[in-house]
Amino acid sequence: MIENREDFERSMRQWAILDNKIRASNNELKTARRQKDELSISICNFMKSKGLENKRIDTGDSVITFCEKNEYQTLTFGYIEKCLGEIIEKDKVSIIMKHLRDKREIKVSNELRRRFNNNNNNNNNNESTSGYE
């Protein structure tokens, strides 16, 4: 619980340190996912070319199998409008789209946002100064 300025400043510094750790972890995960995706494509292509789609690969702690999956396009307003336009009149599509946009629920929440200064974009220094005045 923050009860005074000192607690506030300490909490803000801790928040920034945690934010730095999360950003670094996310960057590592992004790199690992990209590498895994590249390997997956290569492995799947090899398995298909060699007729190994039904092969089970035992890794010791798990079994890896080849499978095909369907990936559906996300339902965007543009996509919904296009599909509705194929089956109903344009003026009714406009009414429906306006209704959908107007009826979306809005959730308001509080959060902290961090914006880096231009000269500190790559600065991972955990020391910070208070902007509290």
**Sign of the dihedral defined by the CA atoms of residues 20, 22, 24, 30, in that order:** negative
Residue 83: what pLDDT?
96
**What tokens appear for 61 in the block?**
């702690």
At which residue do the structure tokens 């095909």 appear? 68
Angle at 124 between CA 118 and CA 128, to 5 degrees: 80
pLDDT means over runs of 10, the chain (133 residues): 95 97 98 98 96 94 95 95 96 97 95 85 45 45
pLDDT at 120: 54
pLDDT of residue 65: 96
pLDDT at 132: 45
pTM to 2 decimal places: 0.66
